[in-house]
């Protein structure tokens, strides 16, 4: 099916599901203005049209901004999740506690069987159950226990006001839906449609989340889900349907994957399609506007990138006080394909971009997924947004096996080391990693137990953070690893040795000038001015704030995280009043 077909039929599909709000008497008579089940669910095309509406559930541009709700990116306005400022929502159905999309899916599953074409029924029922799993996975991540509804509820159905079902029942139901989807959706490569491969990757993502969540939160059944993660990711790897995108080689393939306008089915398994004049977005504007996103990478992310010989940057003496130009030398090539390095050029241009620190809170400018300059205005971006890609399957497979204690060097060579090979990085060695766990990462993730696999688990977490940076998974990773306290650590940026001029490009010509209110004496070559009375510094060695030397400190008040409360979101107060069988999550009032 062509992309345009989806866009055209979504509007028709929406009318089918308006039935959900009708009462029983109305449903017993033909409607004069909308399609009803007896007259609609009769042909394969009807099923296709109906399932097209489910694609509106997919995350879109938020994928490339969600990391601003974590310790990866600092936006212009820090997120409430990081500040510890989330509050109990009031209105029924708010705060994520909404069920309209589930009703659409269940309505479809109660009516699709009338079609005579068995292949069509299998395909589209599989797609519906994929989306039900997608829907419920988000609910469990957000709230923990939630009520499981496998049917359409009438106004008098006693289940309408039931309490929450256990996490164990809901997660088993999600996995059953995904198994059905994998079995029944055809093995096609369709960049903008859900396929068998999409279901494999979602299953591996869900199973890894649940397996590690149960392990680190001390719930039973962790190994069951970790084994499911291995099985699903291995199935996708063994299919050989996808590989890693390599156009541009080590110096640019990683960056090119995200910045091109149209995705293909080399590595990308599912992407949201955008086209000029039909569907556009403003992601590039948010990346480049001083008054919008102003995203900046955190210093500890930058510190986590290895040297290009595989050694650890944080093992270097005095790494905390390296200048910007100094710390950017001889690193994992993904670093300067994710943040603007000293020689940053905008896609399609032949000259280096001037150093511009007024559009980044930390001094580390975000360039991953940044397209050509023509797309930087509001509503001018047309590049596709990747939702699922093959690299994630490699990371899932390695992590799940490491957590189970079954990881081998051959496993690493078939997963993590394929990712490193794309950018010309040395292989990760299992024995060496476990013999010498990185103390910098060990401090970052204190909940990793001191077992035989501690070193390689830390290295896989490094690889995951770097490879999947700003793809919307970091907050979930911290939650499943029970590392919420990570967001309370200082979130800082580029280091400056003091006031005055600084050379960011290594050409002996200063680009950045730090001052306390007066720019008198600044060289004419300066392209970025920083008033340290407004953009304060934090000394990395003493922790002193408002220092005259140190790291940019865009979030001086620091993050808050309540271990007894913040792993789950609160339910809306009106829903608790309407349904006396619901109980608020712990710690929320």
Residues whose CB falls within 8 Å of the CB of residue 507, separated by 6 or more in sequence, listed in order: none
Phi first, then psi: what are they for 282, rounded to 5°? -120, 25
Using only C-alpha atoms, the chain has a radius of gyration, in whole angstroms, of 25
pLDDT at 36: 62
Q: Contact at 8 Å (CB) between 47 and 112?
A: yes
Helices 390-404 and 222-239 pack at an angle, to 10 degrees, of: 140
For residue 52, CA distances in Å to 5, 9, 176, 334, 574 come to: 9, 7, 22, 36, 32
Q: Contact at 8 Å (CB) between 128 and 54?
A: yes
pLDDT at 589: 84
Buried b (16+ CB within 10 A) or exposed e, 475-491: bbbbbbbbbbbbbeebb
Neighbours of 446 (CB within 10 A): 11
Q: Contact at 8 Å (CB) between 88 and 572?
A: yes
Neighbours of 177 (CB within 10 A): 28
The full set of domain ranges for the chain reads 390-487
Residues whose CB falls within 8 Å of the CB of residue 425, separated by 6 or more in sequence, listed in order: 306, 308, 310, 332, 333
pLDDT at 40: 85
Helix %, strand %, coil % of the chain (to 5)? 45, 5, 50
148 φψ region: left (φ > 0), alpha (ψ -120 to 50), beta (else): beta
Helices 44-52 and 100-109 pack at an angle, to 10 degrees, of: 170
Task: Return the H-helix or E-strand segment holding 566.
Answer: none
DSSP codes, 70-88? TTSEE-SS--HHHHT----
Phi first, then psi: what are they for 103, rounded to 5°? -60, -40
Angle subtended at Cα 194 by Cα 191 and Cα 196, rounded to the nearest 5 degrees: 105
Question: Cα(110)–Cα(152) distance, rounded to whole angstroms?
Answer: 8
Residues whose CB falls within 8 Å of the CB of residue 42, separated by 6 or more in sequence, listed in order: 114, 115
Buried b (16+ CB within 10 A) or exposed e, 97-118: bebebbbbbbbbbebbeebeee
Chain centre to alpha carbon of residue 49: 28
Question: Cα(535)–Cα(327) distance, rounded to whole angstroms?
Answer: 21
Sign, Cα dihedral of 412, 418, 419, 424: positive
Three-state secondary-structure class, residue 280: coil
The four Cα atoms 89, 73, 318, 456 give a dihedral, to 10 degrees, of 90
Question: Cα(200)–Cα(45) distance, rounded to whole angstroms?
Answer: 25
pLDDT at 211: 98
Closest-CA residue to 171 (of 233, 226, 112, 108): 226
Closest-CA residue to 552 (of 576, 530, 535): 535
Token output for 483: 């590392």
Q: Contact at 8 Å (CB) between 96 and 86?
A: no
Which residue intervals of 423-519 are DSSP H helices?
430-435, 439-444, 454-467, 474-480
Question: Cα(263)–Cα(126) distance, rounded to whole angstroms?
Answer: 24
For residue 369, CA distances in Å to 65, 236, 260, 263, 342 come to: 11, 25, 8, 12, 18
pLDDT at 432: 98
Closest-CA residue to 401 (of 274, 211, 129): 211
pLDDT at 24: 39
Q: Contact at 8 Å (CB) between 198 and 226?
A: no
Per-residue pLDDT 10s for the chain (589 aa) are 444 434 434 444 444 444 344 433 333 334 333 446 666 899 999 999 999 999 999 999 999 999 999 999 999 999 999 999 999 999 999 999 999 999 999 999 999 999 999 999 999 999 999 999 999 999 999 999 999 999 999 889 999 999 999 999 999 999 999 999 999 999 999 999 999 999 999 999 999 999 999 999 999 999 999 999 999 999 999 999 999 999 999 999 999 999 999 999 999 999 999 999 999 999 999 999 999 999 999 999 999 999 999 999 999 999 999 999 999 999 999 999 999 999 999 999 999 999 999 999 999 999 999 999 999 999 999 999 999 999 999 999 999 999 999 999 999 999 999 999 999 999 999 999 999 999 999 999 999 999 999 999 999 999 999 999 999 999 999 999 999 999 999 999 999 999 999 999 999 999 999 999 999 999 999 999 999 999 999 999 999 999 999 999 999 999 999 999 999 999 999 999 999 999 999 999 8
Q: Kindly state the DSSP code that residue 318 receives in the 8-state scheme.
A: T
Sign, Cα dihedral of 173, 179, 183, 187: positive
The four Cα atoms 431, 436, 441, 444 give a dihedral, to 10 degrees, of 120
Q: Contact at 8 Å (CB) between 198 and 390?
A: no
Task: Return the H-helix or E-strand segment holding 302.
Answer: helix 299-304
């Amino acid at each position: 099916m062509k992309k345009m077909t989806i866009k055209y039929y979504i509007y028709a599909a929406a009318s089918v599901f308006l039935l959900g709000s009708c009462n029983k008497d109305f449903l017993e008579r033909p409607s004069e203005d909308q399609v009803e089940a007896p007259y609609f669910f009769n042909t394969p095309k009807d099923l296709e049209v109906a399932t097209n509406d489910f694609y509106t559930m997919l995350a879109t541009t938020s994928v490339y901004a969600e990391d601003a709700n974590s310790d990866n990116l600092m936006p212009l306005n820090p997120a409430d999740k990081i500040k510890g400022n989330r509050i109990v929502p009031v209105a029924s159905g708010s705060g994520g506690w909404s069920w309209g999309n589930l009703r659409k899916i269940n309505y479809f599953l109660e009516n699709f069987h009338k079609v005579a074409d068995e292949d069509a029924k299998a395909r589209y029922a599989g797609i519906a159950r994929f989306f039900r799993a997608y829907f419920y996975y988000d609910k469990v991540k957000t709230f923990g226990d939630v009520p499981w509804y496998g049917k359409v509820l009438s106004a008098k159905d006693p289940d309408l006001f039931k309490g929450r079902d256990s996490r164990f029942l809901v997660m088993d139901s999600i996995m059953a839906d995904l198994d059905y989807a994998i079995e029944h959706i055809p093995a096609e490569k369709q960049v903008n449609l859900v396929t068998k491969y999409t279901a494999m990757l979602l299953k591996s993502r869900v199973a890894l989340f649940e397996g590690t969540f149960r392990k680190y939160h001390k719930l039973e059944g962790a190994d069951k889900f970790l084994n499911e993660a291995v099985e699903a990711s291995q199935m996708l790897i063994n299919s050989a349907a996808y590989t890693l995108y390599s156009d541009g080689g080590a110096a640019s393939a990683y960056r090119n994957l995200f910045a091109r306008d149209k995705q293909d089915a080399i590595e990308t398994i599912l992407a949201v399609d955008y086209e000029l004049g039909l569907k556009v977005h403003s992601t590039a504007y948010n990346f480049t506007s001083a008054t919008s996103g102003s995203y900046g990478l955190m210093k500890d992310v930058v510190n986590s990138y290895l040297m290009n010989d595989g050694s650890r940057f944080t093992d270097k003496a005095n790494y905390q006080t390296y200048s910007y130009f100094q710390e950017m030398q001889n690193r994992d090539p993904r670093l300067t394909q994710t943040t603007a390095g000293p020689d940053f050029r905008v896609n399609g241009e032949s000259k280096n971009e001037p150093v511009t620190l007024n559009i980044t809170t930390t001094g580390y400018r975000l360039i991953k997924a940044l397209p050509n300059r023509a797309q930087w205005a509001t509503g001018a971006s047309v590049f596709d947004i990747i939702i699922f890609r093959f690299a994630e399957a490699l990371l899932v497979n390695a992590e799940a096996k490491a957590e189970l204690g079954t990881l081998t060097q051959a496993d690493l060579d078939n997963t993590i080391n394929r990712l490193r090979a794309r950018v010309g990085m040395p292989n990760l060695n299992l024995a060496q990693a476990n013999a010498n766990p990185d103390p910098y990462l060990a401090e970052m993730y204190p909940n990793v137990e001191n077992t035989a696999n501690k070193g390689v688990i830390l290295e896989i977490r490094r690889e995951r953070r770097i490879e999947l940076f700003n793809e919307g998974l970091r907050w979930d990773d911290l939650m499943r690893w029970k590392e919420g306290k990570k967001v309370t650590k200082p979130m800082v940026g580029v280091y400056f040795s003091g006031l005055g001029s600084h050379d960011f490009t290594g050409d002996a010509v200063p680009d950045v000038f730090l001052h306390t209110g007066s720019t008198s004496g600044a060289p004419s070559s300066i392209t970025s001015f920083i008033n340290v009375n407004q953009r304060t510094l934090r000394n990395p060695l003493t922790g002193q704030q408002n220092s005259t030397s140190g790291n940019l400190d865009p979030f001086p008040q620091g993050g808050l995280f309540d271990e007894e409360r913040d792993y789950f979101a609160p339910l809306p107060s009106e829903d608790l009043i309407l349904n006396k069988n619901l109980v608020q999550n712990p710690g929320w009032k």
